[in-house]
Structure 1
Amino acid sequence: MRTVGVEEELLLVDPETGEPRALSAAVLARASQDPGDQGVFEKELHEQMLEFATHPQADMARLHAEIVRCREEAARHAGEIGCAVAALATSPLPVSPAVGVNRRYQWMADQYRVVVHEQLVLGCHVHVAVESDEEGVAVIDRVRPWLSVLAALSANSPFWQGKDSGYSSYRSRIWQRWPSAGPTELFGSAERYHRRVADMLATGTLLDEGMIYFDVRLSQRYPTVEFRVADVCLHAETAVLLAALARALVETAAREWREGREPAGHSVSLLRLAAWRAARSGLTSELLHPATMRRMPAEAVVRALLDHAGEALAADGDLERARESAARLLRRGNGARVQRELLERTGSLRDVVTECVRRTQAA
């Protein structure tokens, strides 16, 4: 059974006002004093962000428990210095992002200017183990059409600078400003993948391989493929659903590769349209079906994903859990829908953030 790890970026906020707080260095200093949390939390590009990474897990119940524990520990460390954490992919309230003070982040700020100074967005990255780079690239080629569905499930960023963006995942639209971000064409082999990365770095436009921001990529640090399309999810259960689906997509793609089945040849242009539709609509309307690239109700497209990956989900013991979790998500709505409903009920973005702080720590 393939292992899965999850990285989540959390927003640091004032518990009273809901406004983002640039206190990541202080929170990390607190976490470093706790032997159990050393190496779990990391700095990110902006000081209003805090990232954690789980251990590789084979069992989804254990992964769920670790995500909840990491969120609780992040909240505890943040609380000790007077702030809170929220699993929000953008700040509902206006914010002026503060860039972290280190050489890498300062290079990025000098190079990309307003992109860096406006881009306070928070994602969820899922790592799934692969046996080799060759298998990993075969997987990357074959999961491309399904990434937009994962993005729709996770959508959790309707607000931008105090206003409704009109999107379910505005984070994903902001993220596309990076020159290396987005879907990729078919690679066909690990050699071609690595050649493409080397060619991109040779332009001098990117600082290092960590700035290869493909929607799904080979990890630099681990023997994994890394899914990078998702917003950080408001509810831990949704993050676990993404992890289960990502693992099943990897296993399904690897089987297709071993059986000699060719990947779908959708162009990058079509994949960009599918990603835009997922960002705009989330689960509230229609998505592009990964097989046909034609509009269908979101619920039908989610069912298609569960069917496509169903054999692998069943083999991992995740099929019923995934079906039940997806059904709850469709009924309740993703984070974007929850945030909008909270605003409609309370009339206050501050109250939206306060409630999302509470939900971030809920099991």
Structure 2
Amino acid sequence: MSGAGKPLLGVEEEFHVVDLETRQAAPEVDSLLPELDGAEFARELQRSLVETNTPVCETLDELGAHLRRLRRRLESVAEPHGLGIVAAGTVPLVDLTGDDISAGARYEKMQHEYQMLVREQHICGAQVHVDVPDRDTAVQVVRRVAPYLHILLALSASSPYWRGNDTGYASYRSMVWSRWPTSGPPATVETAAEYDAMVQELIASGTISDPGMLYFDIRPSAHVPTVELRVCDACTEVDDVVLIAGLFRALVCKAGEDLAKGLPLPTSRQELLRSANWRAARSGLEGDLVDLVGPSLVSPPLLVGQLVDMLRPQLEELGDWEQVLALSQATLERGSAAARQRRMFGRRGRLTDVVDALVANTQGRLLSIEPPVEVPLARELLADYRPGTFDEAVSNGGTVLPQYGWMFRALERLGPRGMVAAESALETEQRARGVTFGPEDGTAEARLFPLDLVPRIVSAEDWHVLEAGLAQRVRALELFVRDVYGERRILHDGVVPAAVVDAAPGRNREGEIVPGDVVRIAVAGIDLVRDAPDRWLVLEDNLRVPSGIGYSIMSRRLVRSVMSDLEPPTGVVGLEDVPGRLRAALLSATDSGSPGADEVALLSSGPSDSAFFEHRLLADRMGVPVVTPRDLQVTEDGVYLVTTGGKRRLSALYRRMDEKDLMNARGADMRPLGRALASAVSRGRVALLNALGNGVADDKLVYAYVPDMIAYYLDETPLLDIVPTYPCVDDERRAEVLDRLDELVLKPVDGYGGSGIVIGPHAERSELTEVEKLIRAEPAMWVAQDMVSLSTHPTFSGNRLEPRAVDLRAFVFQSQYGGRAHLDVVPAALSRVAPSGSLIVNSSRGGGAKDTWILR
């Protein structure tokens, strides 16, 4: 292959031949080849496999057209024989006991030498060839491209099933392929002469019989100046092949440019390259991948996005940029082919359905299979399950609701033992990543953040209602905070009693010095509950330092990493862009035209903070540092981050520490920091988000007046209801509350994290007597609410599922551009789960969390 312009490329695809009646791999390729053009079609080691070879191509469009043409030709010849063609790393139904090796001396010698390895080779890959100037360049390119191959493997992963079983891998073909003695990362040679000498040594050792048996993940051609990508599964979607070919050609071009610049070869260890491939084979696009810089585990969308961005100069030069970008986004959106196979299996639990779907998808057709009406679902796990008034997944009659049917079929296959194993693996992953919440109860050691294995689904219709209602609520709360620290119009007009605001525990005079035109509520966490299928209620507003965004992101990654059978349905909104959206909201508070406007930091009290894990996670994802007060110094011209390397001025601080602690803290120069920082905020030297004094709007007494705020400031009807609330400071309401103590939920106005709450219907008489005394002594410090029947959701409790009360903490980011506010209701919602027998979901009271799948 050679060309004067852009490097030419070509693709070899391997396909399984299956019997359309039994859906098993069929050793019938010899009946097909006489009807196919020998230049473009060839037999493979197994007689149930066939290979296609595209002509050399200059453009990705040309390549895609040839791939589709060859697939159509194969199908047109196979179908009259009762055979189908499958593009996947493995085919789910295959018999390894037969002797189905293709004829020929080379294949017969391989069978004699390698025995079971040959019988296992019912696997298919996609190989991409790209031009290079010469074989010395080819060897150098191979070494320079090798660190990125695991990303291409993850994009291609299409082989979860092997011999009728789910292997737990997205690419089990990689596991079978890795058994060859010459598979894996390329050899550490630097010239063609060294490469050829290595080949001769391997032949002399009897390990291989010819150069074609070097099965490295990437290799130079033995005869022509090309490099060949060999790590990938056969791809069900032609678009995935085109994407991988486009990325690989750009990687080859970049490697050639780096060689011309004299840049050194990468130093990644062979063991790490092999481990990165293993992780990609295990996870596909549904679990974390290895970033070799670090190394560290990162999400596939982040790693793929970084690769595409890195290759942008080469892709633009090749004319492939827009196409590869669109293909990469589409692939990440639909997930790996392995995940799609598992979803198809989950519909009815039939591998024959998976094969039928693969046959259709190989030709670009969709196959829809409706599940039968009656399917037994998770009987062991749901033994003795007693739904509450409203369970979101299980009906009062004990049947699983339709939207959860496919999920519970997957859970049934796991059974209690599989769930216990997954729970143990989840805890291991949490410990490895430090996913903790604490310290708690004065202990020195943080505890693992409780995560449940069963995700919660929020429909697109529900989310649409919530988005509008949450945005409306935060708009009104923002206007309220600005008003009560400014003109106090809502108090003068008697809409909210002045005493309610002036006595609010979260009122802080530092809130008065915040410039009037800045966003005060950059991040709001609004807690919601559900007491009926069509009704959501706002339970609480959190406007100071709401936590949970990072735990939502991490719960998605962790649960998916240990529950390979439990693939989300198509259309689950991804979370990978949430940190970027948070960073954009923070930057909107800075002067974009000034030097250092993008210097943002997350301000934390440090490891002693119960949510310090989240602080580190969000800062890392946003690409900003975590700082404590001891890292800061305030001068006349601004706030500086002090490090051993010097000082740099910060434009904004994302506040994640209590404002009282901040006001009492000392800075890097050991001087009191709080007042100086507040002064810098008032003079516009730094933005502090969330603003000081926001707590005036989020206590449980002010909550009762939010519907009035919405009407007053926005002239709108509230889109979301609140729980009926009775301020005890009001004489009439207090009398009603005292008369109904055993029917209501009693809450101290300044109680956070569920502290001090008394649930009347569940309380002892002594508790009610004590709370009555407290209300009479300080009525302004108490509110009461009607008892709400929180919805329940199936939660794993050691050996079965039980209904647990849940709420939903949704997050709203607020930005300001050109004097106009922009509200972003992000999909990183955290479903919080109460302990068994409790209605309090707060983490500080033993509550946990679930991954929340918001549908588009």
**Normalising by the residue count of structure 1, what TM-score does the alignment of the two structures yield?**
0.96
Q: Secondary structure at the match of 2:10?
A: strand
Conserved? CA contact 2:30–2:47, under 8 Å: yes
How does 1:105-124 map onto structure 2 within 5 Å? 105-124=107-126
What pairs up with 1:1-363 in 2 under 5 angstroms? Answer: 1-31=6-36, 37-96=37-96, 98-362=100-364
State the distance in 1 between where 2:155 and 2:360 align.
Answer: 21
Contact 1:185–1:267 (Cα < 8 Å) also in 2: no
Give the Å deviation of 1:349. Answer: 0.7
Query: For residue 34 of structure 1, what is the aligned residue in structure 2?
Result: none
Report which stretch shifted further, 221-230 or 166-175.
221-230
**Cα drift, residue 121 of structure 1:** 0.6
CA distance in 2, matches of 1:270, 1:244: 25
- The residue type paired with residue 167 of structure 2 is S
User: 1:256 deviation in Å?
Assistant: 0.1
Change in CA separation of 1:253 and 1:123 when aligned onto 2, cut-off 3 Å: same
**1:275 counterpart SS class:** helix
Is the CA contact 2:135–2:224 (under 8 Å) kept in the aligned structure 1? no
How far the C-alpha of 1:276 sits from its partner, in A, is 0.4
Q: Deviations over 1:311-359 (max 9, x none)?
A: 1111111111111111111110121011111101132111111111111
CA apart distance, 1:303: 1.0
2: CA distance between counterparts of 1:341 and 1:178? Answer: 31
CA distance in 2, matches of 1:149, 1:340: 21
Distance 1:222 1:81, change over 3 A: farther
Deviations 1:123-148 (A, max 9, x none): 00000011100111110010010000
Q: How far is 1:221 from its partner?
A: 4.4
- The one-letter code matched in structure 2 to 1:226 is E
In 2, distance between residues paired with 1:77 and 1:136?
Answer: 37
Structure (1 or 2) with the greater strand fraction:
2
Structure 1 counterpart of 2:13, one-letter code: E
Letter in 2 for 1:288: V
Amino acid of the structure 2 residue aligned with 1:182: G
Residues 219-269 of structure 1 show CA distances to partners (whole Å, capped at 9, x for unaligned) of 134421000000000100000001001100000000000000012101111
Counterpart CA distance in 2 for 1:22 and 1:283 is 32
For residues 167 and 344 of structure 2, the distance between their equivalents in structure 1, rounded to whole angstroms, comes to: 16
Partner Cα distance (2:267, 2:169) in 1: 28
Bigger Cα Rg:
2
* Kept after mapping to 2: 8 A contact 1:216/1:229: yes
Asked if the contact 1:145–1:291 (Cα under 8 Å) also holds between the matched residues in 2, the reply is no
How big is the shift at 1:271?
0.5
- Give 1:204 deviation, angstroms: 1.7
Distance 1:219 1:182, change over 3 A: same
Q: Is the 8 A contact 1:152 1:282 kept in 2?
A: yes
Deviation sequence 1:57-88 (CA, Å, 0-9, x none): 01100100000000010111112322110112
Q: Which moved more, 1:213-222 or 1:241-250?
A: 213-222
Task: Tell me, in whole angstroms, the C-alpha distance in 2 between the residues paired with 1:290 and 1:3.
Answer: 29
1:167-186 deviation per Cα after TM superposition (whole angstroms, max 9, x unaligned): 00000010011111110243
The amino acid across from 2:66 in the alignment is E
Report the CA distance between 1:295 and its aligned residue.
Answer: 0.9
Contact (CA 8 Å) 1:14, 1:83: kept in 2 or not?
Answer: yes
Note the C-alpha offset of 1:300.
0.8
Q: Which amino acid in the other structure matches residue 95 of structure 2?
A: V
Cα drift, residue 193 of structure 1 = 1.4
**Counterparts of 1:291 and 1:50, CA distance in 2:** 39
Bigger mean CA offset, 46-55 vs 98-107: 98-107
Amino acid at match of 1:10: F
How far did residue 200 of structure 1 move? Answer: 1.1
* Cα deviation, residue 119, structure 1: 2.1
Shift of residue 361 of structure 1? 0.9
Amino acid at match of 1:304: Q
The question of whether the paired residues in 1 share the 8 Å contact of 2:154 and 2:284 is answered with: yes
Q: Which amino acid aligns with 1:233?
A: C
For the residues of structure 2 that align with 1:252 and 1:208, how far apart are their CA atoms? 30
Code of the aligned partner of 2:342: R
In the alignment, the residues of structure 2 paired with residue 2 and residue 211 of structure 1 have an alpha-carbon distance, to the nearest angstrom, of: 26
- Mapped partners of 2:80, 2:35: distance in 1: 8
Letter in 2 for 1:2: P
Letter in 1 for 2:31: A
CA contact (8 A) 2:84 2:359 kept: yes
Q: Do the aligned partners of residues 310 and 291 (structure 1) sit closer, same or farther apart at CA in structure 2, a change above 3 Å counting? A: farther
After TM superposition, the structure 1 stretch with the greater mean CA deviation from structure 2, 117-126 or 285-294, is: 285-294
Q: CA deviation at 1:291?
A: 3.0
CA distance, structure 1, for counterparts of residue 80 and residue 226 of structure 2: 35
Letter of the 1:320 partner, please give it.
E
Q: CA, structure 1 residues 16+171, in 2 after alignment: closer, same or farther (shift >3 Å)?
A: same
Contact 2:45 2:121 in 1 (8 A): no
Structure 2 unmatched runs, 5+: 1-5, 366-856
Q: Which has the higher helix share?
A: 1
Task: List, as ranges, runs of 4+ consecutive aligned residues in structure 1 with deviation greater than 3 Å.
Answer: none
State percent identity of aligned pairs: 37
5+ residue gaps in structure 1?
32-36
How many pairs were matched up?
A: 358
Q: Which moved more, 1:326-335 or 1:246-255?
A: 326-335
